[in-house]
Amino acid sequence: KRMLIDKNYPAVSLTRQAKLLNVSRSSIYYQPVINRQDILTKEAIDRIYTAYPFLGSRKMKFALRDYDRIFIGRDHARRLMREMGLEAIYPHRQNPSEPHPEHKIYPYLLAGLKIFKPNQVWGSDITYIKILNSWAYLVAILDWFSRYVIAWTLAPTLEKEFVFQTYERAFKTAAPEYSNSDQGSQYTANELINLLESERIKISMDGRGRCMDNIFTERLWRTVKYENVYPMKYENFKEAESGLKKYFNFYNHERRHQGLNYKIPAEVYFG
């Protein structure tokens, strides 16, 4: 709500704006304390985790030392990973983001399924995007057969609405037979579940901590970060959103994909 306050709007006083938004006037002037070293450490953790998502806090502590000369204890590494929503993922053991305790969890439906056409399976996930002294949240919906990104959204906060709205935009293009995601609260929210069910889509959710369940989206994040986010070093949200818009257009319509026999995702998706 503080983001809605306009300190340069003379027609309505700050006191009146605060009252209308139901926030205290003192909170308008609050500036969050930024721990610069933690920001740099999170940036290193994000880079390492993107390359090696099976690392837990114990091994992450050593990876930070070996790759970035950052010396922190395991508890510190665990705290930063928890703040980033990161947890080691395993091919054979259950363990990612916590669902809302009142939300229904759906089973994983894609084991052994032969994927042979577009819009058969869509996968979605959320990842962190580094911006100078902060983070943003990127959600994407990916067609597994063609690797085409149906829709994506960059958001400054981790709210369930931005995932729901991304699916709404995706459905303007098509609708899949299966929708796969993790068990996080953004994907188990009643609004999204109702939307998927209204489209008669089979809902599939990863086993907790199983990287192989959503492998195509994990690969997408690696590609986006190493080809765009890390080299561009975005300084603000607007710049990141604009840069990612250009990148996803390139990814969908120009970038040849080894897994597609060097075809372009849009070429495969639209036939």
DSSP string, 109-168: --TTPPP-STTSEEEEEEEEEEETTEEEEEEEEEETTT--EEEEEEESS--HHHHHHHHH
Looking at residue 32, its pLDDT comes to 52
Question: DSSP letter string over 22-70?
Answer: T--GGGGG--PPP-HHHHHHHHHHHHHHHH-TT--HHHHHHHHHHHH--
Looking at residue 214, its pLDDT comes to 74
Answer yes or no: is pLDDT of 92 > 70: no
Q: What's the mean pLDDT in 70-89?
A: 84
Looking at residue 27, its pLDDT comes to 54
Distance of CA 37 to the CA centre of its chain: 23
Looking at residue 18, its pLDDT comes to 65
pLDDT band at 61 (very low <50, low <70, confident <90, very high): very high
DSSP classification of residue 207: P
State percent of the chain over pLDDT 70: 79
pLDDT band at 160 (very low <50, low <70, confident <90, very high): confident
Answer yes or no: is pLDDT of 6 > 60: no
Looking at residue 9, its pLDDT comes to 55
pLDDT digits 0-9 by tens, 199-238: 999 999 987 555 556 788 889 999 999 999 999 999 999 9
Q: What's the mean pLDDT in 108-131?
A: 93
Answer yes or no: is pLDDT of 150 > 90: yes
pLDDT digits 0-9 by tens, 240-264: 999 999 999 999 999 999 999 999 9
Q: What's the mean pLDDT in 122-149?
A: 93
Answer yes or no: is pLDDT of 5 > 60: no
Query: What does the angle CA 69 – CA 210 – CA 130 come to, to the nearest 5 degrees?
Result: 40
Token readout for 237 is 């949200």
Answer yes or no: is pLDDT of 14 > 70: no
pLDDT band at 163 (very low <50, low <70, confident <90, very high): very high
Looking at residue 90, its pLDDT comes to 47
